[in-house]
Amino acid sequence: MNAPQSLPLEFPVFDNSFAALPEAFYTRLQPQSLPAPYVVGISSEVAELLGLPPALLESPEFAEIFAGNRQLPGAEPLAAVYSGHQFGVWAGQLGDGRAHLLGGLRNDLGHWEIQLKGAGKTPYSRGADGRAVLRSSIREFLCSEAMAGLGVPTTRALCIIGADYPVRREAIETAAVVTRVAPGFVRFGSFEHWSSRRKPLELQQLADYVIDTFRPECRVAPNPYDALLRDVSRRTGELMAHWMAVGFMHGVMNTDNMSILGLTLDYGPFGFMEAFDAGHICNHSDHQGRYTYRNQPHVGQWNLYRLADAFLPLIKSPQQARAAVDDTYGDAFAMAFERLMLAKLGLRNGLPDDEEFIGNTFAFLQQHRPDFTLFFRTLSKLPAVKIESTAGPATIETTAGPRVNPENQAKTDAPLRDQFIDPAACDAWLASWRARQAQTPWSDAERQSAMLAANPKYVLRNWLAEKAIRLANKKDFSEVHRLLTCLRKPYDEQPEFEEYAALPPDWARGLEVSCSS
């Protein structure tokens, strides 16, 4: 294939801060071009973040640029090196095996790095072809933007570019490139790499780069590297809380897939919880169940301990390095998780027993297995006042708002009760929820509005992504566009997308995803 051609085009100016590091941190190389590329999907929101000229999105050059066929002015493409633990085992050197960092830019909205995923082989490909396929690219593109819509810290995705270029996975598929965007792509494994090689100078250079570029407030601390590790621990704890609250499962939480900036990074065999099972394994390559839903907070901490080990040459004291994690991660996770769960449950103010109530709620979900997203969304619309009398009109006015009469209780609660094989168990839990609501009462209108803003109606269920993928394989990208539009506003009702809130159809029950997804 021919080398990419430069393209004179109005474009935001690159600053390429990562490329300014010594060349030991990466290999400079051009993406491999794809023949006859075409646009599968574009996120206009990310285009605005980058300050891309609107005319570029409509131009024939767009697909050429983000397939890796033409070089943006000022870009300095490279593939970064890192190492890491995979499934709890040290894997040694890894690196960007199918990603090319084009460069970074800074504008009024922040610092952004642009990376092509699937743009060809690199020195870190370890025998692989360096390509991504349309299937996995659609999943990453949609989930990156879905997580942003949910308010979860994440990398973003500008576009998917496809091509009728064969790539072998389990079967022959077509190639695609997804353009990822984030403030930075430095990973836990980036630090593990230099620590494992006993290269304290490079380790410090990387830490200084992260501090000076992203966390300048750490520089004024007595030990800036201790401050950085504490910042990473806090942000990772908050990220894990967000994942748990929306029912997201990453599927492959290796240390090379953990962002030093506390972002959700590397979408592969992810999944959103449907019928609740805390032990659900969303990655069928995870034979030991290391990355189940319930294990994510524990794995987050384990990964931070590996990062703390890598920071030892900077912090000097093993006890201090471990304390940087222990003093911050657990509290950050617990506080964020309780805050998010109180919002999901519509509890106006926290009380000392709320941790127990939240725990009992998850035990209830585990026993009865309702759909996670549908359960909380439906709960958001129910009245919070317990019915106590059979007499009187259809509703009774109270200081807390209208109260439904008992004869209407089953009908009122039916949308939630109908999700349970044992409706009596649902009634019992609702009674406890309403009793808790009575301790910090507020009007149903306010509470319901707040709960609807905390409980999404739409998440990227695997069957939705699969439907878009099957159509895209026939060159019909309409479902990619529709899903992207819907998932940008997951908390809105959007009746035109009502079918996306439904339970999985029968054909989707056997869907599996793996690390190749």
HEC assignment per residue over 21-86? CCHHHEEECCCCCCCCCEEEEECHHHHHHHCCCHHHHHCCHHHHHHCCCEECCCCCCEEECCEEEE
Closest CA to 244 of 150, 155, 322: 150
pTM equals 0.93
Q: To 10 degrees, the CA torsion angle through 233, 237, 242, 248?
A: 90
Average pLDDT, the chain: 92
Give just the sign of the alpha carbon dihedral 158, 162, 168, 171.
positive
CA distance linking residue 258 with residue 233, whole number of Å: 11
Q: pLDDT > 70: what percent of the chain?
A: 92
Closest CA to 35 of 223, 163, 180, 190: 163
What is the CB-side half-sphere exposure of residue 322 using CA atoms within 13 A?
A: 4
pLDDT greater than 50 at residue 517: no
- Checking 318-326 for CB contacts under 8 A at 24+ apart, the result is 320/223, 320/226, 321/226, 321/229, 324/226, 324/229, 324/230, 324/233, 325/229, 325/233, 325/301
pLDDT greater than 60 at residue 9: no
> Is 256 among the residues known to form the active site?
yes
Mean pLDDT calculated for residue range 421-438: 96
pLDDT for position 3: 47
CA distance linking residue 25 with residue 191, whole number of Å: 11
pLDDT greater than 70 at residue 401: no
One-letter amino acid for residue 265 of the chain: L
Q: pLDDT-based confidence at 20, cuts 50/70/90?
A: very high
pLDDT for position 430: 97
Contact 178, 141 (CB under 8 A): yes
CA distance linking residue 415 with residue 413, whole number of Å: 6
pLDDT for position 8: 46
Mean pLDDT calculated for residue range 142-169: 97
The pair phi, psi for residue 302, each rounded to 5°, is -60, -45
Contact 374, 503 (CB under 8 A): yes
Closest CA to 34 of 153, 125, 160: 160
pLDDT greater than 60 at residue 404: no
Q: Within a 10 A sphere around the Cβ of 449, how many other Cβ atoms?
A: 13
pLDDT greater than 80 at residue 432: yes
pLDDT in tens, 215-259: 999 999 999 999 999 999 999 999 999 999 999 999 999 999 999
Of the listed ranges 14-28, 306-320, 401-415, 449-463, the least confidently predicted one is: 401-415
pLDDT greater than 70 at residue 405: no
Question: What are the distances in angstroms from CA 18 to CA 25, 183, 202, 204?
Answer: 9, 11, 13, 14
pLDDT in tens, 260-299: 999 999 999 999 999 999 999 999 888 999 999 999 999 9
pLDDT greater than 70 at residue 208: yes
pLDDT for position 410: 74
Give SS3 for 181: strand
Q: pLDDT-based confidence at 510, cuts 50/70/90?
A: low
pLDDT greater than 80 at residue 493: yes
Question: What are the distances in angstroms from CA 88 to CA 255, 299, 303, 306?
Answer: 9, 9, 9, 10
CA distance linking residue 39 with residue 159, whole number of Å: 8
Q: pLDDT-based confidence at 471, cuts 50/70/90?
A: very high
- Written as six digits, the tokens of 445 are 């209108």
The residues, any chain, with a CB within 8 Å of residue 220's CB and separated by 6 or more, are none
Mean pLDDT calculated for residue range 338-346: 98
CA distance linking residue 514 with residue 462, whole number of Å: 12
pLDDT for position 162: 98
Options 256, 266, 286, 354, the catalytic residue:
256
Closest CA to 162 of 3, 35, 5: 35
Mean pLDDT calculated for residue range 345-359: 96
* Between 326 and 170, residue with greater pLDDT: 326
Mean pLDDT calculated for residue range 339-351: 97
Contact 80, 185 (CB under 8 A): yes
Burial of 347 from C-beta contacts in 10 A (0-12 / 13-18 / 19+): buried
- Checking 280-288 for CB contacts under 8 A at 24+ apart, the result is 280/249, 282/249, 282/251, 282/513, 283/251, 283/252, 283/513, 283/514, 283/515, 284/512, 284/513, 284/514, 285/252, 285/514, 285/515, 286/87, 286/251, 286/252, 288/87
pLDDT for position 406: 56
pLDDT for position 11: 74
